[in-house]
A and B are shown apart, each in its own frame.
Chain A
Amino acid sequence: MKRTDIHFRNKANYATGWFTMKTRIREYRTRLNLTQEKLAEMVGVRRETIIFLEQGRYNPSLRLAHNVARALQTTVEELFIFEDIERAED
């Protein structure tokens, strides 16, 4: 299953530098035979939001992450994986 890595600069705590976010939304969605449109309807967002979430190109709020996790019958920790990267790698 394709995973997307995206780097976000953590503005609130610059000392932590960069981190990688991996999402497993597509994996869980296909497991439940849901289309992007259906998942968007269940969560109450637009389809584009689901697309960008799957691609790791949108940093969701905790509430949205929780809603997506609940719709996919899993937890936030399972769907979104954050990994710190050493600042030297930048």
Chain B
Amino acid sequence: MRTKKIFWSVAIMALVVAVILIAVEAYYVVVAFVVGLLLLGHRELWSLLRRRKMPPIDERVRENTGKSVRNGFIFFAVTTAFLMLPFSVRLVEGPDTVQVLGALFIAAGVVYLFSYLYYDRVCPRLSEGSLKLFKTFLLVAGISLGAAIISIFLHNAIYALIMHFWGADFEEPVFFIIATIVCPLGLAVGIIGSLVIFFQGLFRKTS
């Protein structure tokens, strides 16, 4: 009965949030919100419709939910901290603040959703080799993203220093190529590779 109460509480809260989102005309957010909730709760809904009872929230489900909440929170905290940096503070000033925060919330929700699916279904179905490859792809994507940000900063810093000391209009080429060609390529390879392995694991059948 406990799980049934939780389910109905979440359903009512989701309905209230959906009504608020419709009232502020954020229709695309409503669609993403509803699709995400259906993806997460489809087993509960199916069980409720078929057997009129909820599947139990066992220790595995609790563990996976806890890890996913942690990942979503870390993502939200890191991206918010990044937006607080002096060079990106323009993003959160002015009338766009609500949109930026809304996008961050949605992104944190997507991180939660993918984390839950990963811990609950993908990870137990993948072999050791595939798991290692998946983590390598994620690492490549993360390093590319970090390297791109650092390269943009260094490119601009070198350009500014040369302008300051020598007064020459010199475009620094190395970090420019890393930021515009190498890093986006690495990011694309990392994201596509990890997504392919993720969906392979998600749709692999268990006996």
Seen from chain A, the residues whose Cβ lies within 8 Å of a Cβ on chain B are 7, 44-46, 48-49, 51-52, 55, 57-58, 60-61, 63-64
Contacts and interface: CB of A to CB of B under 8 A. Distances in A.
Interface in B62-83: none
B59 A60 contact: yes
B88 interface: no
Nearest to B58: A45
Nearest to B125: A57
B206 A55 contact: yes
Contacts of A60: 59
A64 B59 contact: yes
Nearest to B60: A49
A51 B55 CA distance: 15
A22 B164 CA distance: 68
Interface in B151-207: 206-207
A46 B58 contact: yes
Nearest to B120: A48
B58 A51 contact: no
